[in-house]
Every structure is written in C-alpha cells, then in structure tokens.
Amino acid sequence: MNSEHVLITGASSGIGLELAKCFAADKSNLILVARNTAALEKLADELRREHKIEVHIITADLSKPESPQMVFDELKGRGIIVDVLVNNAGFGLHGGFAELPLPHQLEIIQVNIAALVALTGLFLPSMIERKRGGIFNVGSVAGFLPGPNMTVYYASKAFVLSFSEALHEELLNTGVSVTNLCPGPTESNFSQVARSHRVRETRARKMSAASVAKIGHKDFRNKKCLSVTGLQNKILTVVGSKILPRNVARKLSGYYNKLK
C-alpha cells in the first residue's frame, strides 16, 4: 500500500470527488473533507472497497474561519501526516456585486482564499522539512480574466492563480511541488453550491468533472505549475490574458456571464 496521505477539500462532489478517485487509483490513502457527512461516508466506503486504501473523513465547513485549524488539529491528534494537500473547495455567485448579499460574497473569500491559504500555511512547513509533498490548488480559467456578474469569484481565482505561481517558484528544489488546476465550465453542482440568485444567459460547452480531474491529476504528478484543461480553455487564457486589451477582455467576460 502507498504510504502517501492526500487531503482533499470539497471532496463530496464534482471535481473533488473525481480527484479522490484519481488518487485512490494511485493507492494513496485519503482524507476527505466537506460539509456533507453522508456523501463523504458513501464515497469513503466505495474507495476502501475498490482500492483497499485507508480513507478518513472530516466534516468541516470551510466558510467558518476556525475550520482549517480544526482540520489540522484533528489530523495531528490522529497521528496522520499529510503529504499532498488538494485545495478544491470553492464556490461562486452569479449576479451584480451590489445586488448580491454581502455575507455570501465574504464567504466566497473565506472559502476560496482564506481557507486555502490557511490550510497551505498549516501543512506546508512539515512538507518542506521532509523534503517531499505537494500543494494542488483548484483554480479556474476565471483567474485569468475580470468577471462582471461574478466579480468576487473571478477575483478569488485570480488570487489563487497568483498565489500558486509564486509559491511554485519559492519551492523549487525543496522537493515540494505546487500545481494550479484551471478548468473552464465543468459539469458539476456548481450552481447549487453557489446558491445562485440568478443564472447566466450564455451557455458554454462543459467538460466532465472526471475529465478535468484526470488532466489535473496527471499534471500534478508531472509537477506542472499550471494545468489548463481543454483546448478551448487554453485558447481563452492566451487570448483573454495576453492578446486582448483589458477593456475588451472584461466586456467579453461580462457577455459570457450575462444574466437572465
């Protein structure tokens, strides 16, 4: 059995669930974190049965500032060393900034940014000390563009992109890798988790969560800094962030996020 332990946040559905399957196929032991205990238990039973691995679950709501420390303390108490941290938990809201509830938008910052930074800060020092490990942040192609009608979500993913790239550079030659997975539209329960007040009018072709996870997992194992999934998303990141003037990029992004 692989002695590696992989912690995955937001593991109860979508990309997080599919990443759990990818790491389980490596025979890595898992720590699954999410709010939905029943979904975690179901997934844990499935992965234990199919892959003969250890799977631990921790119920935690990362919108609460104390949760990252709670997760860290719980694992320390169990004597579990985390080798790979997958910061997957995140959500967004569709709607104009001024019309959306401010508490929900602050929750986006707490989950997508603060919890990600806190968990990284808690688990990274021991990885550096052991000279092995990995940080795998799930960002978005949204991080390359401003995002009218999803303002805080896009801004949060821009933070994740910058944070991941800088950390990747800092940790060169330490034995610890950093990968930022940047998917585009993905088939998942994003809209439900986002507690969206309004929906987008523009539709885009979506990749499956399984496809996104497989690409990201492979790129993480190959120690790539950025993992942009799918040709259309790669074109979007190049055109949107490097070719188009910023005023044009934000107008196109606003059109994509046009609300009904």
Task: Dump pLDDT digits (tens) for 170-193.
Answer: 999 999 999 999 999 898 765 454
| 249 neighbors 143 (Cβ within 8 angstroms) | no
Q: What is the CATH number of the domain that holds 117?
A: 3.40.50.720
Please report which helix (H) or strand (E) contains residue 177, including its range.
strand 176-182
pLDDT at 257: 75
The one catalytic residue in 153, 154, 255, 256 is 153
pLDDT at 196: 53
pLDDT at 248: 72
pLDDT at 255: 64
Total domain count for the chain? 1
**Contact partners, residue 57, CB within 8 Å, separation at least 6:** 31, 32, 33, 37, 40, 41, 44
| 111 neighbors 65 (Cβ within 8 angstroms) | no
Range of the domain at 98: 5-256
pLDDT at 1: 55
Question: For residue 59, what are the β-bridge partners?
Answer: 34
Q: Examine the residue annotation and report whether 153 is marked as an active-site residue of this protein.
A: yes
Q: Rounded CA gap, 162 and 182, in Å?
A: 12
pLDDT at 195: 44
Nearest to 58 by CA among 91, 126, 11: 11
pLDDT at 188: 75
The per-residue pLDDT for range 122-137, each reduced to its tens digit, is 999 999 999 999 999 9
pLDDT at 246: 73
| 114 neighbors 65 (Cβ within 8 angstroms) | yes
4-20 in b/e burial notation, b at 16+ Cβ within 10 A?
bbbbbbbbbbbbbbbbb
The structure's pTM equals 0.91
Low-confidence ranges of the chain (pLDDT < 70): 1, 189-204, 238-241, 244-245, 249-250, 252, 255-256, 259-260
Output the CA–CA distances (angstroms, integers) from residue 209 to 89, 125, 249, in the order listed: 14, 31, 26
